[in-house]
Structure 1
Amino acid sequence: MTLQGDIQRSVADHISAFSASGDWLALLGAMPLAVVFGMAHALTPGHNKLVLATFVLGERLGLLKALATSVLLSATHIGGAVAIGFGANWLVSRTITQAGRAPLLETISHALLVAIAIWMIWRANRPATRHRHSGLFAFAAGLVPCPLTLFITVMASSLGTPEVGLVFAVAMLFGVGSVLCIVALITHVMRERAAAILSGFGGAESLTLGFGGSILLLLALVPMVGRLI
């Protein structure tokens, strides 16, 4: 993708420039741009925007919990890349393949999302059951490390400036997190308006939960099946 490539090249140029000059003022001056890079990166396919919206819709999360789930998902997504890039070279060699993919973590993530989706569908038929697992969902959805953050941390470490990778990772977290929070906010507002319209229909909440669970199940199963065929 052209946008992804442009972002990656620009970030690589900034890391290389700092490695050569050690100019922290120039690096910190580029941080607002790095946040924009994170936002643009999050708007490209992936990053579980639809998965998050489906969960917020189905579980009828309150606004604060929806935003907290978005932040936790983003932190897991970015933090996982930082952990792999900085502290687990052996894990990189075992789990990371071409183009920053992590098949093992992707499989675990999708398996956990399948379990959550089935739980949502099951609860749709038992309205009295109120246990919501937004923390588990955020962890499962964010388990796959961010490829761009992984690239940044590995490159920074290879140039002997891991601190630069960490600074860029924080900027990426702000960028990705802001996009996912906006997704959660829009979903919450739309769901509340729809709920007001359907307030006279007694089974609306169960229907929404079952619909959200079904969509989440589909989103999690399709990639798993695709890797098998």
Structure 2
Amino acid sequence: MRRAVALTGLVVALTLVALWLGGGLSGIERWATDQQRAVQNAMAGALRALRSGQPGAVASLLALCFAYGVAHAVGPGHGKVIIGSYGFGAQVPLARLAGLSVASSLAQAGTAIALVWGGITILDLGRQTLTDLSEVAMVQASTVLVASVGLWLAWRGLSMLRAQARADRHHHHHHGDACGCGHAHGPTPQQVAQTRSLRDGVLVVAGIALRPCTGALFLLILTWRMGIFGMGIVGTLAMGLGTAVVTVAVAGLAVWARRGSFALLHEHGAWAGAARWLPGTLQLGAGVLIAAISVAVLLPWL
């Protein structure tokens, strides 16, 4: 039963990826874009109601911000690609991946807040300049950082595969990972897998956070002009939580699919040998995918 559940996750993930790559999810993406536009208009109305002191305006604004965050995350975005690929390729527990998802979404909100506050108070930038900065320079910086996440994962996947090859050679020659001399010959694949650390988390969070949401910029600039910037900050954090709902779901699906891929190989004796190579292969594949998507995003600017 457990294997069937795990395999279902792999099938669901592969189906969604195939639909996405084949353009089958374009209808959902258009819907998400339309919803963002509608919610953005409603936010402007809620802000006017808030400034005029209408009861319930704060709750209404926060609900709209949360809804915008969900709609924004459902549409096309780099956050889902990073979290999904990293969760599928790396041997990272679901709790840690979910924590990274929430941290990334809130950090993205924090970037928008810092950009608007610093851009207006320190640099005296206008709305169009701030938006251009967010959609060009920060997108480029974010994409380069995301590409580095992919290259780092790919390199670590290769390291795991090399470690597995060494382990297999020593096992063949000495019937074990050690030759009897009292020490191991190089790190095992498991030890290589454990090298993930704070560096992983920082790269993943920074890669997502460097690309602030335009809806958050809209809200923050508007609340600044209206003299209620504090409300804009709270609303932007609510957007971040809305985004986190979707990215945590993607994290869960990624881990579910990863378990399915292991269940697929471990069940068959003929594939038992291949199962040892799966962690490194998954990590290499995830890294190459992230790097390739990043390069595709950067190509128009090159």
- Is the pair's TM-score, using the shorter chain for normalization, greater than 0.5? yes
Shift of 1:141: 2.1
Please say if 1:110 is aligned against 2:143. Answer: yes
Aligned residue in 1 for 2:37: 5
CA contact (8 A) 1:95 1:103 kept: no
Aligned residue in 1 for 2:19: none
CA contact (8 A) 1:49 1:183 kept: yes
Shift of 1:87: 3.3
Please say if 1:205 is aligned against 2:236. Answer: no
Q: SS at 2:76's partner residue?
A: coil
Distance 1:111 1:210 in 2: 18
Aligned residue in 2 for 1:43: 74
Residue 96 of structure 1, aligned match among 118, 121, 130: 130
Aligned residue in 1 for 2:59: 28
AA at the equivalent of 1:172: M
| Structure 2, unaligned runs of 5 or more | 1-32, 161-188, 267-271
After the TM superposition, which residues 1-229 of structure 1 pair with which residues of structure 2 at under 5 Å, given as runs? 1-19=33-51, 21-23=52-54, 25-89=56-120, 90=123, 92=125, 96-98=130-132, 101-127=134-160, 128=189, 129-130=192-193, 131-132=195-196, 133-199=200-266, 200=272, 201-228=275-302
Shift of 1:83: 1.3
Which is worse superposed, 174-183 or 119-128?
119-128
| Structure 1, unaligned runs of 5 or more | none
CA contact (8 A) 2:39 2:64 kept: no
- CA deviations over 1:100-152 (Å, ceiling 9, x no partner): 84321112111112222112111112114332212221111221111101110
Larger radius of gyration, structure 1 or 2? 2
Shift of 1:58: 1.3
CA change 1:34–1:110 in 2 (3 A) is closer
Distance 1:115 1:29 in 2: 40
Aligned length: 226
AA at the equivalent of 1:104: A
Shift of 1:91: 7.7
Task: Give the superposed CA RMSD.
Answer: 2.1
CA change 1:97–1:31 in 2 (3 A) is closer
- CA deviations over 1:185-214 (Å, ceiling 9, x no partner): 111112112212223222111110111001
Distance 1:47 1:169 in 2: 19
CA contact (8 A) 1:114 1:217 kept: yes
After superposing on structure 2, the runs of 4+ consecutive aligned residues of structure 1 that deviate more than 6 Å are none
Shift of 1:55: 1.2
Distance 1:195 1:121 in 2: 19
CA change 1:46–1:92 in 2 (3 A) is farther
Shift of 1:34: 3.0
